[in-house]
C-alpha cells in the first residue's frame, strides 16, 4: 500500500481546484454569459449619438465565457479560501466573529437595497429613521452625545476623528503639531494622523505593554493635539489609568482619541465616554459582526464628546418634532463630507440588525465570553508558548516564538503549520513591540471544543518543533498552494494578466 501515499497521487483532487485558471484563460470565442432583452427602442446610427473619437473599439482581451464557466470558476475559487463559517479564524485585532445570516437577509430587503442615495428625504424616511436609531444605539454604547455614521472603515473613522480634533483646535487659534501614538498601535493610526496634517510622536510602552502616566505627562506639550490610543491595547491589556490619562490631556487642552477596534472586549461592560474619551471609532465589521467579505466592506462610525459635536461631518440625521427625519447640513464648523452619499449604508443596516439581535444583555455577554475564551487559550498555552507581556489581558492574547526560535522555528512557521491542522493562523508579527508576535483573538463565537482543538494543535506544533522542526519550517503541506515566493512577487511585480 505504499503507492497510495505518494504525493502525486494524493493531491489530484486538491490540484484540480488549485489549478483553476484565470477567468481570462477560460475565455473562448463565441461563448456568452449573459443576455439582455432586445433593444426595444428604434436604433439610431452610433455616429449620430457619439462621435467616433469619443468611442472605444472593442474591449480587447475581455472574456467570453458562459454562466456555467463563471459559476464553476468562482465556486472553485471559493474552495481555496478558509472562512469563519467553517472554523476558528483567530486573527488578532480583527474580531472574526460569527456573521449572522439574518443580517444578510435584512440588508437585501428591496426597500433598502434599491433605494437611491439622492432621493428626496420624504421618499427615504425608512432609511433615515434607521440611521437615526443606529446613532442612538451607538451613543448609548459609547456613552457619548453624538455619532457620525459616514466613515466606511476604521481608518476612515480615524481620519474623520483627527480632522475634527484639528478643526476644533484650529478654532481656538492653534491646531497644534503632534499626535501621540503608543508604539503598540496599529499602522492606520499614524497614517491617519499624517493624512489629517499632523506629525507623530511615538510613546514607549512599559513592561505591561501599556503607557505610563509619567511617559504621557512628559510627552503632552502645548504642541500636542491628541493622544491616539487603543483600549484595550493591541496586547489586549486594558489601560487602567485611562481616566487619569484623559485628565492629563484635557488639562493641556489636548484630546483623547480611542481606536475602538477592540471594543468587543468591553462593550456593555464600560463606556468610552465614561472614561474621558473624546473621540472613538468603532469598526462595525469587528464588534458588530458585519461580514469581512475577504477584506471589506466595513464601517467606522465615530462618536464624539460635546466639545467636538460642532465639527462632525455633514449631513447629520435629525428627527423633527412630528417624527419625520431629515439631513441637516447646517453645521458651519463641520469638517465637511467624508464620502459621497451616506457611507456604507447597507453595512449599517447589518450592524443595527445585530445590535437588536443582541440587545443590552447580549452585548454584555459578547464581552464576557470573548474575554473568557481568550483567557482560556492563554491558560492552556502559557506553559507551551512564551507570553512576552504578563499583564492580565482581555479579549486577545499575544504570545511570541521565543521558546521555538532555538530550534530555528519562527512565528511564520508556526502560523503556516496551523493551516495543516485546519486552522487559519492568528495575526502575526503585530504588535511590533513583541518580537515574533502571535496575536490570538478567538471572539465570543467559538465553542469550547473548537478552542480546545486549536490549543491541541498549537501544543502539537510545539512538540513537532522539538522533534521534527523541519516539518514545521516547511509547512504548510496540505493547502492548495504551499509557501509562496513573496520576494519574487515584489521584485518583478506581475499585477495583471496579459494575453500571451
Ligand X SMILES: Cc1ncc(COP(=O)(O)O)c(C=O)c1O
494 binds, among ligand X, a copy of itself, other proteins, none (CB under 5 to 8 A by kind): other proteins
Nearest to 315 by CA among 93, 132, 67, 57: 132
Q: Does 408 bind a copy of itself (CB under 8 A)?
A: no
How far is CA 16 from each of CA 73, 152, 207, 490, rounded to the nearest angstrom?
Answer: 12, 38, 50, 27
Q: At 163, which helix (H) or strand (E)?
A: helix 154-171
Work out the widest C-alpha separation in the chain, in whole angstroms. 82
Give me the half-sphere count of Cα atoms (radius 13 Å) on the Cβ side of residue 301: 31
145 binds, among a copy of itself, other proteins, ligand X, none (CB under 5 to 8 A by kind): none
Asked if residue 149 lies in contact with residue 342, where contact means CB atoms within 8 angstroms, the answer is yes
Please select the residue that binds other proteins; options are 5, 173, 294, 330, rule is CB under 8 A. 294
Query: Quick one: 69 or 183, whose CB is closer to a copy of itself?
Result: 69
Please select the residue that binds a copy of itself; options are 63, 64, 98, 195, rule is CB under 8 A. 98
93 binds, among other proteins, a copy of itself, ligand X, none (CB under 5 to 8 A by kind): ligand X
Please select the residue that binds other proteins; options are 180, 415, 434, 438, rule is CB under 8 A. 415
* Planar angle of CA 459, 379, 465, nearest 5 degrees: 20
309 binds, among ligand X, a copy of itself, other proteins, none (CB under 5 to 8 A by kind): none
Please select the residue that binds a copy of itself; options are 171, 382, 477, 488, rule is CB under 8 A. 477
Q: Does 300 bind ligand X (CB under 6 A)?
A: yes
73 binds, among other proteins, a copy of itself, ligand X, none (CB under 5 to 8 A by kind): other proteins
Q: Does 93 bind ligand X (CB under 6 A)?
A: yes
Asked if residue 415 lies in contact with residue 421, where contact means CB atoms within 8 angstroms, the answer is no
Instruction: For residue 211, report the phi and psi dihedrals to the nearest 5 degrees.
Output: -105, 125
Q: How many residues lie near other proteins (CB under 8 A)?
A: 218
Query: What is the footprint of other proteins within residues 449-488 (CB under 8 A)?
Result: 474, 476, 479-486, 488
Nearest to 126 by CA among 337, 296, 355, 348: 348
Query: Quick one: 24 or 421, whose CB is closer to a copy of itself?
Result: 421
Query: Quick one: 330 or 466, whose CB is closer to other proteins?
Result: 330
Asked if residue 232 lies in contact with residue 197, where contact means CB atoms within 8 angstroms, the answer is no
Please select the residue that binds ligand X; options are 230, 264, 290, 316, rule is CB under 6 A. 230
* Segment near ligand X (CB under 6 A); pick from 6-14, 58-66, 148-156, 467-475: 148-156
Q: How far is the CB of 305 from other proteins (least distance, A)?
A: 15
Q: Does 441 bind a copy of itself (CB under 8 A)?
A: no
* Segment near ligand X (CB under 6 A); pick from 37-45, 152-160, 236-244, 357-365: 152-160
Instruction: For residue 279, report the phi and psi dihedrals to the nearest 5 degrees.
Output: -140, 140
Q: How far is the CB of 263 from ligand X (least distance, A)?
A: 10
Query: Quick one: 134 or 181, whose CB is closer to ligand X?
Result: 181
- DSSP state for residue 20 in the 8-state scheme: P
- How many Å apart are CA 401 and CA 94, to the nearest integer? 21
3-state secondary structure of 428: strand
Find all residues with CB under 8 Å of 312, minimum gap 6, and list them: 146, 148, 164, 304, 331, 334, 335
Q: How far is the CB of 187 from a copy of itself (least distance, A)?
A: 31
- How many Å apart are CA 279 and CA 170, to the nearest integer? 17
Cβ-in-10-Å burial (0-12, 13-18, 19+) of 360 comes to exposed
| Strand order across the beta sheet in which 397-399 lies | 397-399, 438-440, 427-428
* Planar angle of CA 130, 131, 134, nearest 5 degrees: 90
Q: Does 69 bind a copy of itself (CB under 8 A)?
A: yes
Query: Which positions touch ligand X (CB under 6 A)?
Result: 93-94, 153-155, 186, 188, 230, 234, 259, 261, 283, 298, 300
Query: Which positions touch a copy of itself (CB under 8 A)?
Result: 1, 3-7, 9-17, 26, 28, 66-69, 71-72, 75-76, 79, 83, 85-87, 98, 100-101, 419-422, 445-450, 453, 468, 470-471, 474, 477-479
Amino acid at each position: 500500500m505504499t503507492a497510495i501515499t505518494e504525493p502525486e497521487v494524493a493531491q489530484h483532487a486538491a490540484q484540480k481546484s488549485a489549478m483553476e485558471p484565470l477567468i481570462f484563460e477560460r475565455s473562448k470565442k463565441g461563448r456568452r454569459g449573459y443576455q439582455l432583452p432586445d433593444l426595444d427602442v428604434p436604433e439610431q446610427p452610433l455616429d449620430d449619438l457619439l462621435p467616433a473619437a469619443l468611442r472605444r473599439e472593442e474591449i480587447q482581451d475581455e472574456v467570453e465565457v458562459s454562466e456555467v464557466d463563471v459559476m464553476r470558476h468562482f465556486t472553485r475559487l471559493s474552495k481555496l479560501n478558509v472562512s469563519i463559517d467553517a472554523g476558528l479564524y483567530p486573527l488578532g485585532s480583527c474580531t472574526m466573529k460569527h456573521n449572522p445570516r439574518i443580517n444578510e437577509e435584512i440588508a437585501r430587503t428591496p426597500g433598502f437595497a434599491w433605494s437611491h442615495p439622492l432621493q428626496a428625504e420624504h421618499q427615504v424616511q425608512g432609511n433615515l429613521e434607521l440611521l437615526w436609531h443606529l446613532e442612538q444605539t451607538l451613543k448609548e454604547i459609547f456613552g457619548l452625545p453624538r455619532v457620525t455614521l459616514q466613515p466606511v472603515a476604521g481608518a476612515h473613522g480615524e481620519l474623520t476623528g483627527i480632522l475634527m480634533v484639528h478643526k476644533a483646535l484650529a478654532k481656538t487659534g492653534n491646531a497644534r503639531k503632534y499626535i501621540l501614538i503608543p508604539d503598540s498601535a496599529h499602522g492606520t493610526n499614524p497614517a491617519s494622523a499624517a493624512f489629517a496634517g499632523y506629525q507623530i510622536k511615538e510613546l514607549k510602552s512599559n513592561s505591561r505593554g501599556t503607557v505610563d502616566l509619567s511617559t504621557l505627562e512628559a510627552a503632552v506639550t502645548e504642541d500636542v493635539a491628541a493622544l491616539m490610543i487603543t483600549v484595550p491595547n493591541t496586547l489586549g491589556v486594558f489601560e487602567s489609568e485611562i481616566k487619569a490619562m484623559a485628565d492629563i490631556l484635557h488639562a493641556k487642552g489636548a484630546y483623547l482619541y480611542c481606536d475602538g477596534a477592540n471594543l468587543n472586549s468591553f462593550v456593555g461592560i464600560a463606556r468610552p465616554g465614561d472614561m474621558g474619551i473624546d473621540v472613538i471609532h468603532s469598526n462595525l465589521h469587528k464588534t458588530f459582526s458585519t461580514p469581512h467579505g475577504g477584506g471589506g466592506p466595513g464601517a467606522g462610525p465615530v462618536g464624539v464628546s460635546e466639545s467636538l459635536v460642532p465639527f462632525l461631518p455633514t449631513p447629520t440625521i435629525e428627527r423633527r418634532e412630528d417624527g419625520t427625519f431629515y439631513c441637516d447640513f447646517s453645521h458651519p464648523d463641520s469638517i465637511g463630507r467624508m464620502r459621497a452619499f451616506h457611507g456604507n449604508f447597507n453595512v449599517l443596516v447589518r450592524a443595527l440588525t445585530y445590535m437588536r439581535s443582541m440587545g443590552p444583555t447580549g452585548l454584555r455577554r459578547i464581552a464576557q465570553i470573548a474575554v473568557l475564551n481568550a483567557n482560556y487559550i492563554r491558560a492552556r498555552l502559557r506553559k507551551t508558548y512564551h507570553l512576552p507581556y504578563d499583564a492580565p489581558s482581555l479579549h486577545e492574547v499575544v504570545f511570541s516564538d521565543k521558546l521555538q526560535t532555538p530550534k530555528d522555528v519562527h512565528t511564520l512557521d508556526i502560523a503556516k503549520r496551523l493551516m495543516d491542522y485546519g486552522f487559519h493562523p492568528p495575526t502575526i508579527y503585530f504588535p511590533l513591540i513583541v518580537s515574533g508576535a502571535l496575536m490570538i483573538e478567538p471572539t465570543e463565537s467559538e465553542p469550547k471544543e473548537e478552542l480546545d482543538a486549536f490549543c491541541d494543535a498549537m501544543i502539537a506544533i510545539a512538540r513537532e518543533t522539538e522533534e521534527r522542526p523541519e516539518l514545521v519550517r516547511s509547512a504548510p503541506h496540505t493547502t492548495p498552494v504551499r509557501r509562496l515566493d513573496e520576494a519574487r512577487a515584489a521584485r518583478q511585480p506581475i499585477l495583471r494578466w496579459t494575453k500571451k
